[in-house]
Amino acid sequence: MNIGTTAPSAGDLAIGAVAAGLELVAVNTYAAALAAAGAGSIGEVPPAVAEFVTTVQGHHQAALDAWNGVLTAGGQAAVTAPPAGLEATVNEMFATVTDVVGAAELALMLEEIAAATYLDAIGKLESGAAIALAGSIQPIDRQHIAVLLFVLGRYPVPDTFATADMAFAGEGESASNTIPAAAASSISIVDFAFDPDGLEIAVGTTVEWVNNDAFDHSVVADDGTFTSETIEPGGTFAFEFTAPGTFPYKCGIHPQMIASITVTE
Ligand SMILES: [Cu+2]
């Protein structure tokens, strides 16, 4: 890292484009939450929560504008379209949100990804201005996280050191991407989602869920066929499917996390 550099490097511009895309997803999601609140489709929204969403959307818009400023000053086009994969995943999750708690869970996931991405970026950026920008946005996102944890009734006390585990590396960089590629009869629980969220297997297959997230989750079949205990980060749960059928399931802690297993003869 060369902190003395003033002009953003090519790597800085690439990171800036990823950051701008992430900010655009956040801006759009908070806008969708405000629209849903206005339409009454997520139930009663306390005024303080609506105010929080409006303010936070403004923070993400400011971050988006700042990164786009870095990009255009560096001779690149501003980011005006969100990364398609992340946007699709978030929209899919948003479609299942029915109340403020669900919306707050989704916002928490986005804020965790953003804070992790900036923490990761600080160590990779080269220009002082870009480092300062990432370093000024990251604690704002941690503040959003603290408020969201409070809204969700969890203790909003941070760990001693934040991690970059949920950092977003941009589309098509699956190795360190926050939304990894699908695996066979193993299902990863990551970023408040089951990956893959649809899996077709043969009778007799054992499916293993691995919690690769930084949060507790569980696996609960809608029809009660299988129910895990709480799966802590790094923990697993396995179940052997001995009969054909379609088994929708969800996380018992975060019911907006839904997925399905199809078992064929
Ligand atoms: Cu969960």
The predicted-structure confidence for 29-70, as pLDDT tens digits, reads as follows: 999 999 999 899 898 888 999 999 999 999 999 999 999 999
- Using the mean position of ligand 1's atoms as its centre, give its distance from the Cα of residue 257 in Å: 6
Pairing of strands 258-264, 245-250: antiparallel
- Using the mean position of ligand 1's atoms as its centre, give its distance from the Cα of residue 142 in Å: 20
- Using the mean position of ligand 1's atoms as its centre, give its distance from the Cα of residue 216 in Å: 6
- Using the mean position of ligand 1's atoms as its centre, give its distance from the Cα of residue 250 in Å: 8
Average pLDDT rounded to a whole number, residues 123-134:
94
- Using the mean position of ligand 1's atoms as its centre, give its distance from the Cα of residue 53 in Å: 23
Helix 84-94 to helix 100-122 angle (10° resolution) is 160
- Using the mean position of ligand 1's atoms as its centre, give its distance from the Cα of residue 89 in Å: 16
- Using the mean position of ligand 1's atoms as its centre, give its distance from the Cα of residue 230 in Å: 9
Domain boundaries, the chain: 10-151, 186-264
- Using the mean position of ligand 1's atoms as its centre, give its distance from the Cα of residue 37 in Å: 23
Give the position of tokens 């818009």.
Answer: 61
- Using the mean position of ligand 1's atoms as its centre, give its distance from the Cα of residue 44 in Å: 23
| pLDDT over 70 at 264, yes or no | yes
Pairing of strands 198-202, 258-264: parallel
Give me the pLDDT at residue 178, please.
52
The class (CATH top level) of 10-151 is mainly alpha
Non-local CB neighbours of 248 within 8 Å, separated by 6+ positions: 221, 222, 258, 259, 260
- Using the mean position of ligand 1's atoms as its centre, give its distance from the Cα of residue 92 in Å: 16
- Using the mean position of ligand 1's atoms as its centre, give its distance from the Cα of residue 71 in Å: 36
Reported confidence tier of residue 210, pLDDT bands at 50, 70, 90: very high
- Using the mean position of ligand 1's atoms as its centre, give its distance from the Cα of residue 233 in Å: 11
| pLDDT over 50 at 232, yes or no | yes
Reported confidence tier of residue 227, pLDDT bands at 50, 70, 90: very high
The class (CATH top level) of 186-264 is mainly beta
Token output for 251: 């996380």
Give me the pLDDT at residue 70, please.
95
Average pLDDT rounded to a whole number, residues 7-19:
94
- Using the mean position of ligand 1's atoms as its centre, give its distance from the Cα of residue 155 in Å: 17
Give me the pLDDT at residue 26, please.
96
Give me the pLDDT at residue 183, please.
31
- Using the mean position of ligand 1's atoms as its centre, give its distance from the Cα of residue 133 in Å: 32
| pLDDT over 50 at 73, yes or no | yes
| pLDDT over 80 at 1, yes or no | no
- Using the mean position of ligand 1's atoms as its centre, give its distance from the Cα of residue 234 in Å: 13
Smallest Cα–Cα separation from 261: which of 173, 199, 190? 199
Asked whether the beta carbons of 164 and 228 are under 8 A apart, the reply is no
| pLDDT over 90 at 237, yes or no | yes
259: exposed, middle or buried (C-beta count within 10 Å: 0-12, 13-18, 19+)?
A: buried
Reported confidence tier of residue 96, pLDDT bands at 50, 70, 90: confident
- Using the mean position of ligand 1's atoms as its centre, give its distance from the Cα of residue 217 in Å: 4
Give me the pLDDT at residue 224, please.
94
| pLDDT over 50 at 2, yes or no | no
Give the position of tokens 């018992």.
Answer: 252
Give me the pLDDT at residue 164, please.
82
- Using the mean position of ligand 1's atoms as its centre, give its distance from the Cα of residue 126 in Å: 36
Per-residue HEC secondary structure of the chain comes to CCCCCCCCCHHHHHHHHHHHHHHHHHHHHHHHHHHHHHCCCCCCCCHHHHHHHHHHHHHHHHHHHHHHHHHHHCCCCCCCCCCHHHHHHHHHHHCCCCCHHHHHHHHHHHHHHHHHHHHHHHCCCCCHHHHHHHHHHHHHHHHHHHHHHHHCCCCCCCCCCCCCCCCCCCCCCCCCCCCCCCCCCEEEEECCEEECCEEEEECCCEEEEEECCCCCECCEECCCCCECCCECCCCEEEEECCCCEEEEEECCCCCCCEEEEEEEC
Give me the pLDDT at residue 176, please.
42
R_g of the chain computed on alpha carbons:
20
Average pLDDT rounded to a whole number, residues 145-150:
92
